[in-house]
Amino acid sequence: MVTSERAAVFLDRDGVLNRAVVRDGRPFPPQDLESVEILPGVPEAIRKLKAAGFVTVMVTNQPDVVKGTQRRDVVEAINKYVSETLGIDDVRVCWCLEGDDCDCYKPKPGMILEATAELSLNLSKSYMVGDRWRDIGAAHNAGCKAIFIEYGYEEANTFKPEWVVRNLSEAADIIVKYNDCGED
């Protein structure tokens, strides 16, 4: 069996690429395209990751559509804007509710595993960057390294990341450093 050398950086959307809306200590997605704000330093971090040879894949849970509190076309417009603005290579969305019989709702690894198979990626050389425990769980469940952006949300992180950072720029620096060193 031939193993791909292509590595990816899997990126949560809200709180990693664009600003999350924080209410009562918990993060939520923006409600419309006009409210989307790309976080400072994110475009540069994405360029740095791509220059280092990483495939960038946005992986996002979007259960509000099924809950009826958001329209699918709005979520798709936000995803398109974020991915096109930043030059993200691939976008994966889970539309399910937690507890649904699906394998993609983070912390389940389905979105990561599907992208890995379709894009011929090497998970052992890949990273997941997220701001919630679900993202770190998805990384561990998929078999890639996890970087947690700590915002002090009022929720417990039941999974332990390899690194804790303040933003995607710091995460990109770590990823490129370890990639350059050839460390797994």
The model's pLDDT over 32-72, given as tens digits with 9 standing for 90+, comes to 999 999 999 999 999 999 999 999 999 999 999 999 999 99
Give the start-to-end residue ranges of the domains of the chain.
8-181
| 143-154 pLDDT, tens digit each | 999 999 999 999
Q: Supply the pTM of this predicted model.
A: 0.94
Task: Please name the residues in contact with 149: beta carbons below 8 A apart, sequence gap of 6 or more.
Answer: 15, 16, 129, 130, 131, 165, 166, 167, 168, 171
| 87-125 pLDDT, tens digit each | 999 999 999 988 768 999 999 999 999 999 999 999 999
Task: Tell which CATH classification among 3.40.50.1000, 3.30.420.40, 3.40.50.2300, 3.30.720.120 matches the domain 8-181.
Answer: 3.40.50.1000
Mean pLDDT of the chain: 94
* Cα 28 from Cα 46, distance rounded (Å): 22
- List active site positions: 12, 14
Nearest to 145 by CA among 181, 167, 112, 103: 112
